[in-house]
Amino acid sequence: MAYRILADLVVLAHLGFIGFVLFGGLLALRWRWMPWLHVPALAWGGFIEFTGLICPLTPLENALRRAGGLEGYSQSFIERYVVPVVYPAELTREFQELMGIVLVGLNALIYAYLAWRRWRISG
């Protein structure tokens, strides 16, 4: 049971990281230091999306689930509602590349706005 809970926590952390990678640039609108955390996370997320590699959290979660010997067909809330968001069934290589483009494009717009705002204030 403990391994299953740990695996669920890894999925939640994974989902939180995905949310931070996608929307963390918005936090930079409030906190000037946020890009120091967000840009490396964004670079990692983009790298994973564009190369098609697997995030290290995925094998960790799988190892924890195997160690926990999942019981039959019962699913936790996390497995039923969060896992399909993190690992969509329709995740193809092309869809993954599209997500990478959206990821980089959205954050490029956010950081361009931040740069423009700082330039306008200091100029």
Mean pLDDT of 51-56: 82
pLDDT of residue 73: 37
> What does the alpha-carbon distance between residue 71 and residue 93 come to, in Å, rounded to a whole number?
31
pTM: 0.70
Do 97 and 104 contact (CB within 8 A), yes or no?
no
Mean per-residue pLDDT of the chain:
82
pLDDT for the residue numbered 79:
65
